[in-house]
Amino acid sequence: MLPTELRASLAEQIASVDHPRELLVDVMFAVQDHYGYLSDQAVEEVADLLGMTPLEVEELATFYTFVYRHRVGKYVIHVCDSVICWMDGHESLVEHLERKLEIKMGETTPDGLFTLLPVCCIGYCDRAPAILINKKVYGPLTPEKIDEILAKLQGEA
Amino acid sequence: MNKDDLTERFASILRRADRRARERRNEAIPTIYIVMSTCGLASGAAETKQAFEEALSDKDIGARIVPVGCLGHCYAEPLVVIDHPATGFPPICYHQVTVARARRLVRSYLEKGDPVFEYVLGALEENDLIPAVTDFARFNLEQRLVMEHCGRIDPDDIYQYIAAGGYSGLVKALCLEPEELIDEIETSGLRGRGGAGFPAGRKWRLASTAKADGKIIICNGDEGDPGAYMDRTILESNPHQLLEGLAICAYAVGADQAIVYVRAEYPLAVKTIKGAIKSAEGVALLGSTILGTTFSLNVSVFQGSGAFVCGEETALIQSIEGKRGMPQHRPPYPVEKGLWGRPTVVNNVKTLSSVPPIIKNGTEWFRGSGTETSPGTAIFSVVGNVKHPGLVEIAMGTSLRTLIFDVCGGIPNKKSFKAVQIGGPSGGCLPESFLDTPIDFDSLTQAGAMMGSGGMVVMDEDSCMVDVARYFIDFTQKESCGKCTFCRIGTRHLLNILDRITNGEGSEQDLELLGTLSEDIKLGSLCGLGETAPNPVLTSLRYFLDEYEAHIKENRCPAHKCRALTAFYIDLEKCARGCEVCVGCCPVEAIFTTRGRKKAIDQKLCVKCGECAVVCPPEYDAVLKVSPPELAPTLERTPDGK
Ligand SMILES: Cc1cc2nc3c(=O)[nH]c(=O)nc-3n(C[C@H](O)[C@H](O)[C@H](O)COP(=O)(O)O)c2cc1C
């Protein structure tokens, strides 16, 4: 269940606009920030808040890259698959990450630390190949740099 | 509308801005401008800033640090400009200012007055002491109409924009009748910079004559084209110029609500534009009764969250309404029935940012740049295999050759030019013979590419054009919203065919199929995504047919790019006895020691990641790549060969 405060503040925001539905993305993000991802229960709670059906929420939740319908790790690594990253070694980068974390794209490490996901161009073409970890950009990357970043995050976790 | 009252109110804001600017200059302490937009931050600008702060306090030197937006010179980040009037030098621009360099600049330049020539990119003004940046093509071939203030002012300080002449366009506009304003934009010939090049004035007129209340302006900052980041830079570096353009547009059209649609992938842009809206409202340049007039404009920000198709205007509107971002049938066009069924103008970030200077300086001034049918400038992010990648604003009509070779320094690493991809996944790849094509809406379309929203990807001889086409189809295939069958399934089939060809399993029939299927997808799709998705295939088939044929008929990838068609091997003549570097880096243990104690690659195990070629010391340079793979000599692994 959502904490009452969060629920109340969301309900207040929703009451202040003409078209509650336009806040769907914002509400999904707020609820996702709370739970870490958008669980089935969360979808129902969002629907309830906005007076929509869970199916309508589901439609949108599965449309956007940054709404996670499955449990994700503490650090979500979005690997940019844009053209410049791809020219600059995106494939080897993915292979390296997969090898290092021992998971495939779309999976989460058993310790719940890392999730690997693709993302369409994040616009850091001058820093290719680039990745986004919890909204922070890293690039240009080499296998060594990735190892460094992963080690640092592991240390902080 | 009382003009005198309006101009008096603005004059008082302007006085405040000027006073602040004067105070800053009068303090006579050095100013350090640090590029803190996303590109700067990604290359360590925050660390650089901290290093400056620490070094200044260590040495007890007084200096002001001003974070600024992007100058467009991404190759030189972190970029810093130091204005140290006491030395007699003009403001100097420094490149790649790492932490160590920042410390050294404080020690040498700020403390002792030695400008450290080896870090200098150039002086910002002409002078006798230091070469000015305007001596370089990268600067002087540019024409900054829209990005004039980007990187020169603090985007979070509205007064810096105002002191630089900002918001005077809005004041001028509010003194005109909306009708006159639309005439002005129409005469200027401004065309939409979001890709299609639709005349902005005409769009505004259509919306202004639509009979309905509650008109809405949407600024399209979705920018999903791979390889493009101009809109992000403008949002981060000079958000007020965009807001000013938005307000002028709203006044002209008769709208009282505006929405800036930005991608969630651009967190800094979102933060900057939100802050800018607040500060503009704070001085009555946005919000209710702007500058005391009857004109009010409520501006909000909507965050998209990672879907390319949401950049299409009808999909974007759906997305704001809280629905899946799926394109809708047009007509009705958004100018008649858009968001919540109300007349809606959707304009790109660059289009709206072009408006204030046009109003301020007049249509003649604007038409002084560019061509008859595409006046003004084009802003491109030039990326890929060029020496000086970054953001460039050039007059429309400039040739591709000038842009790529003169402004951006040409192809690095002594490689040769192969193709330039313009217009993202909707655009096309143009070969060398098109380098003299002028950059404007019509010439690019004629050549088979398109202006797009301004991403330009330069490719050298190592790019495989079949693989590039495959990449773009893979992209559109993933980003298709799925509504139209041809776009959804057709692109999937195109991808399968291209996968086959790049895997060396293509047949000659495939070439024909690519052509016909492409035409069908164009015809069978509702929105621009599907209509243009096959362009990368069609243009590469037209201009690089030989590469397709080499893959199919000879099992050969001319660029040595496609993994299935290439092989790595180690030249035993060049390999150094006893060197083990490649062995350690191979992820699959495919490298073994030969009888002669040199190294060889077990082709059966090799996954062709290429890491051995990267780590092989340059003095040996022994790892070679060949295509077709049969050309690689095979050495049997001895039972004990590790
Ligand atoms: C698939 C697709 C993606 C688009 N993406 C963008 C975009 O990212 N930014 C943009 O301004 N226009 C984009 N457009 C064009 C918009 O539909 C629309 O034409 C434009 O925002 C109008 O603004 P303008 O007249 O100022 O160019 C896209 C169109 C299509 C078909």
High-pLDDT (> 90) share of chain A, %: 74
Note the pLDDT of residue B640. Answer: 60
A19–B340 C-beta distance less than 8 A: yes
Name the amino acid, one letter, at B429. C
Does residue A56 sit in the same domain as residue A79? no
pLDDT bin (cut points 50, 70, 90) of residue A34 is: very high
Which of B231, B453, B478, B535 has most ligand 1 atoms within 8 Å of its beta carbon, as the pocket-test mutant? B453
Q: What is the mean pLDDT of chain A?
A: 93
The span from the CA of A129 to the CA of A87, in Å, is 8
Residues A82, A19 share a domain: no
Q: Is residue A67 part of a domain?
A: no
Query: Quick one: pLDDT at residue B363?
Result: 97
CA B327 to ligand 1 centroid distance, Å: 11
Distance B194 CA to ligand 1 centre (A): 5
| Chain A interface includes B588 (CB < 8 A) | no
List the CATH number of the domain containing A16.
Answer: 1.10.10
pLDDT of residue B639: 67
**Residues near B557 by beta carbon (within 8 Å), at least 6 away in sequence:** B464, B466, B467, B502, B547, B550, B551, B565, B566, B627
For ligand 1, pick from B231, B312, B344 the residue to mutate: most ligand atoms within 8 Å of CB: B312
Q: Using CB atoms within 10 Å of the CB of residue B595, give its burial: 0 to 12 exposed, 13 to 18 middle, 19+ buried.
A: exposed
Residue type, B269: A
| pTM, rounded to two decimals | 0.91
Distance separating alpha carbons of residues B641 and B635, to the nearest angstrom: 11
> Could you tell me if A45 and A95 lie in one domain?
no
| pLDDT of res. B267 | 87
The total domain count for chain A is 2
Pair (A148, A81) in one structural domain: yes
Query: Which of B43, B227, B302 shows the shortest C-beta gap to A83?
Result: B227
- The pair phi, psi for residue B268, each rounded to 5°, is -70, -40
> Does any domain span residue A66?
no
d(CA B111, CA B106): 6
Please give the order of strands across the beta sheet that includes B120-123. B64-68, B31-35, B80-83, B92-94, B120-123
Query: What's the full length of chain B, in residues?
Result: 642
The answer on A135 and A100 residing in a single domain is yes
pLDDT of residue B380: 92
Tokens linked to A120: 């369409």
B315 within 8 A of B527, measured Cβ to Cβ: yes
Taking one residue from A and the other from B, the number of pairs with CB-CB distance under 8 angstroms is 133
Asked if the C-beta of B633 comes within 8 angstroms of chain A's C-beta atoms, the answer is no
Same domain for A57 and A86? no
Per-residue pLDDT, B611: 87
| CA-B222 nearest atom, ligand 1 | 8
B512 Rama sector, left if φ>0, alpha if ψ -120 to 50, beta otherwise: alpha
What was the pLDDT predicted at B474? 92
Q: Report whether residue B346 contacts ligand 1, using a CB cutoff of 6 Å.
A: yes
Tell me the CA–centroid distance for residue A152 and ligand 1, in Å. 40
Which residues of chain B does A92 touch, with a Cβ-Cβ cutoff of 8 Å? Answer: 609-611
Q: What share of chain B is helix, strand, coil (3-state, %, to 5)?
A: 45, 15, 40
Q: Which of A12, A32, A61 is the last residue of a domain?
A: A61
A110 and A48, same domain (yes or no): no
The pLDDT of residue A42: 96
Domain that holds residue A139: 75-156
10 Å Cβ neighbour count for B619? 8
Asked whether the beta carbons of B432 and B389 are under 8 A apart, the reply is: no
- Distance of residue A3 Cα from the nearest chain B Cα, in angstroms: 24
Question: Which residue does chain A place closest to B478, by CA atoms?
Answer: A120
Q: Do A14 and A80 share a domain, yes or no?
A: no
Predicted confidence (pLDDT) at residue A53 exceeds the cutoff of 90? yes
pLDDT score at B53: 96
Q: Please state the atom number of ligand 1 nearest to the C-alpha of residue B315.
A: 17
Q: Which domains does chain B have, with CATH numbers?
A: 22-138 (3.40.30.10), 166-367 (3.40.50.11540), 377-460 (3.10.20.600), 465-554 (1.20.1440.230), 566-631 (3.30.70.20)
Q: Quote the pLDDT of residue B26.
A: 74
Query: What pLDDT shows up at residue A124?
Result: 84
Measured from the Cα of B197, ligand 1's closest atom is 27
* B120, B92 Cβ separation under 8 angstroms: yes
Identify whether residues A23 and A81 lie together within a single domain: no
Q: Dihedral of the CA atoms A101, A103, A107, A110 (nearest 10)?
A: -70
For residues B28-65, one letter each, b for 16 or more C-beta atoms within 10 angstroms of the residue's C-beta and e for the rest, the string is: eebbbbbbbbbbbbbbbbeebbebbeebbeeeeeebee
Across chain B, which has 642 residues, the per-10-residue mean pLDDT values are 86 95 83 90 91 95 93 91 92 95 96 94 90 85 93 95 97 97 98 93 97 95 88 96 98 97 90 98 96 96 85 95 91 95 97 98 97 95 92 96 95 95 89 96 90 87 94 92 93 97 96 96 93 94 97 96 95 92 91 92 92 92 95 81 50
Q: Compute CA distances B311 → A5, A77, B220, B452, whole Å.
A: 35, 24, 7, 12
Tens digits of per-residue pLDDT, B445-482? 999 888 887 789 999 999 999 999 999 999 999 989 99
Give yes or no: residues A82 and A146 share one domain: yes
Q: Is residue A86 domain-shared with residue A126, that is, in the same domain?
A: yes
Residue B385, ligand 1, Cβ within 6 A: no
Give pLDDT, residue B196: 85
